[in-house]
Structure 1
């Protein structure tokens, strides 16, 4: 049994102000794997006070000092990679090979990209040739509250913590209480890297407790949150009382448009992308829009691909998918699968219940529905599990209309060999990101969405800019 009750505040590991144990459940076994403590107002106040005090110096630290810290973080992160992989696998159910490659790899990828972007970043710029004595100063927002989810723990922690540190902000991290173990390892990394006391703080807690306390705290200048749209709305309302800056990375219902000239690997690529991380990704291509001339073939192939996806414990090596994160999510997904059947969608793979041979653990059958329409619940709600909805369209205009008919706008996908059409459709997508023909976005590409998928951007230069204020100064001396 892992016991990790302490918080990291002002450069030290400290005991909670009051006992409030919380069990961490291994979703592969449904057994308690660790005990942490949930913080209360006193812990939150102590962490914010430490960050506020540290900002007096860190906010004016040199670019070289910040770069040295981030490079040290990356070196130690790589050395602790296996500890991080094991933590994420046990806490949120990522199969250990996926945890080592994608879950841990996402973090190192983002840190490297921040280093590249930071080296070229200018914190002082002239307004223009017409105003030689005007300056634009890019300055840190201040004390930031960073609230991260359970589905991609290190992906989100690195996107927020490293960007905030590069900008000169101080911070309090509240990781998901569902998957806190990797963030405890991360805090050990931050400590070993020599982060000045108070610059980085970590308090475990739930949303209604530490989360709400941070969001409404008068000494917090910015909240950066990744999670559900429902929680994002609540955070925005709470932060409004103190006019905090709020950056939100929320849900998605990505459309993957397959035109009749889509390449031969498009169907398999789309299904496996949907099933990755057991469907627990906000940018998952959960709606496959298929042109009518190839619809029947695509449905058959998608069902076949999904039927071959193996499901098993996170502790086992291999290319299988693991469980979903907890009982609450499992029940939600089961209800939505049943609702898909009840509302008339055609079930072509998977369905309700656990996969054969798995009687314990929060395992879900890789599921595919055909003949889904946007008025069905499974066509509109983010399921956050391994469930793909296939829809039919006839024309390009209809595909765009269906794709955009959602409250979300995070990532959409286009599959066609017609370059002009691909570009044309990409321009019409109401989403923060579009990926075409299996080409991933490049290093430092900003991550974020339109509409109820959130605001702000994470990663690279724009990710750093999210944590900066712009100060306009006239009469600047050039002596």
Structure 2
């Protein structure tokens, strides 16, 4: 099977409903398109890979189930690729690089702008896929998860339009920026499209070609994204998609001699493996890894507003965000007041069916993560921390699905496992501090450095403390991340930056021209 798939929209036109939207467990229906598009090609099939501009049958036949985390039911399956599939995809990307790397910036901008139109038109379809495969409530899947693919594309376009690809240095030499080559891209399940966009888009923008290995747990959104790239008109081989696990496909890309760069987002453990596998070929490696982000709350902050918002931020996406503010450090003088506010905020956080609209949170993405979060909650209890609200088990009335009770621990010390390890669930730990110096010491006492948060009514303190926090981003008084800014961390949270101008530069080589 080598034909490309048709547009992935539900239509009354016979034969245009994607196969995976016909699964019995799929709980949604996408809106009718304004003008149904006709196609003679075959339906998109999750058991196919997108290689060389077409949906093709993999060499491997090893199946992997796709589960709905809210129902625990299988809603499809994919094929986990093997070494032959990796080689085929890399060969397609390598063959396409010679011509695509020589396209003009204007040509690449035109392709990205066409992709932006398609992403906007198919936002709802993307949201439906995300909600079904990883349990994001549909409102959040639409407004944040799917929106990230659009927002990051706008940020990449702005950066590309303003970047100097050729400049004269003060000494008279010429500096030229060129695409690095074939890029291997590995993305996680917790923000699927957000991370796909942050890797695929700078590759396409700079003239690179790529092979994407999305999380095997969230293949549906990746398939929708691949189809959108196809429909935008990218040349065959520029973008390729294969499914697989880390030890086979992930390692295969990392070790491949024809892959010039690896970009990985996921756990620190897996990131170390990617770096080691890439070392023998001395390829560039960028890593966006874990976090245990501190949130410093000073007594001069608007406690009711800032603490409530901080708790909800920690619980957002069911706590499955690497930069979530999961360690709340609270000035001793307002500690008891903060505990009451935090308890009420967490207790008021609704948990429910991701198919329903609303501001609730959904389940964990799979049983393994559910079990891990349950184990870490029990560890906190065993360590002597006080459960303010939540605790082990599922929320009342939810006896099916991988749902976790929003949990807040008080009386935590920073040497506890729940304060040092990334739990990746709706679990907040609260630690008291004595003064500004003590707060900074505790905040930086972590192997991670992805993000930090700061709540204070004193602008001078905000600048002073932010300057000393060892983190790639500091969010002050509720300031959110904006598309187009660089994202990345210090220490074991990784290296390199994604998004904006710095995100483009990670995919570029620098050449200097010396004229006689």
Normalized against structure 1, the TM-score is what? 0.98
1:182 partnered with 2:221 = yes
Q: CA deviation at 1:83?
A: 1.1
CA distance in 2, matches of 1:166, 1:137: 16
Once the two structures are TM-superposed, the CA of residue 67 in structure 1 deviates from its matched residue by 0.4
The alpha carbon displacement at 1:441 in A equals 3.4
Deviations 1:85-132 (A, max 9, x none): 01000100000110010001111110011111111111111112xx23
Q: Which residue of 2 aligns with 1:293?
A: 333
Deviations 1:1-46 (A, max 9, x none): 6451000001011001131111101000100011111111111101
Q: Is the 8 A contact 2:46 2:219 kept in 1?
A: no
Write the distance in 2 (CA, Å) between the matches of 1:331 and 1:440: 31
Quote the residue 1:83 is aligned against.
Answer: 125
- 2:204 maps to 165
Write the distance in 2 (CA, Å) between the matches of 1:301 and 1:371: 15
The residue number in structure 1 matching 2:40 is none
- Following superposition, the deviation at residue 57 of structure 1 comes to 0.8
> Displacement, 1:139?
0.8
Comparing 360-369 and 13-22, the one that deviates more: 13-22
Of residues 472, 478, 486, the one that matches 1:446 is: 486
Question: Unaligned 5+ residue runs, structure 1?
Answer: none
Unaligned runs of 5+ in 2: 1-21, 24-44
What does 1:11-410 align with in structure 2 at a 5 Å threshold? 11-128=53-170, 131-132=171-172, 134-263=173-302, 264-410=304-450
Larger deviation, residues 184-193 vs 118-127: 118-127
Structure 1 position 209, deviation (Å): 1.4
Give the superposition deviation at 1:269. 0.7
Secondary structure at the residue paired with 2:492? helix
What's the RMSD between the two structures over aligned residues?
Answer: 0.9
Shift of 1:439: 1.4
CA distance in 1, matches of 2:339, 2:464: 26
Deviation (angstroms), 1:282: 0.3
Q: For residue 156 of structure 2, give the secondary structure of its aligned residue in structure 1.
A: helix
Aligned match of 2:451: 411
Tell me, in whole angstroms, the C-alpha distance in 2 between the residues paired with 1:364 and 1:441.
Answer: 26
Structure 1 runs of 4+ aligned residues shifted over 4 Å read: none
SS at 1:347 equivalent = strand
Matches of 2:207 and 2:285 in 1, distance apart?
17
- Aligned counterparts of 2:360 and 2:513: Cα–Cα separation in 1: 56
1:443 CA drift (Å): 3.5
- Distance in 2, Cα, partners of 1:429 & 1:34: 44
Whole-angstrom CA distance in 1 between matches of 2:149 and 2:98:
28
The Cα shift of 1:442 comes to 3.4
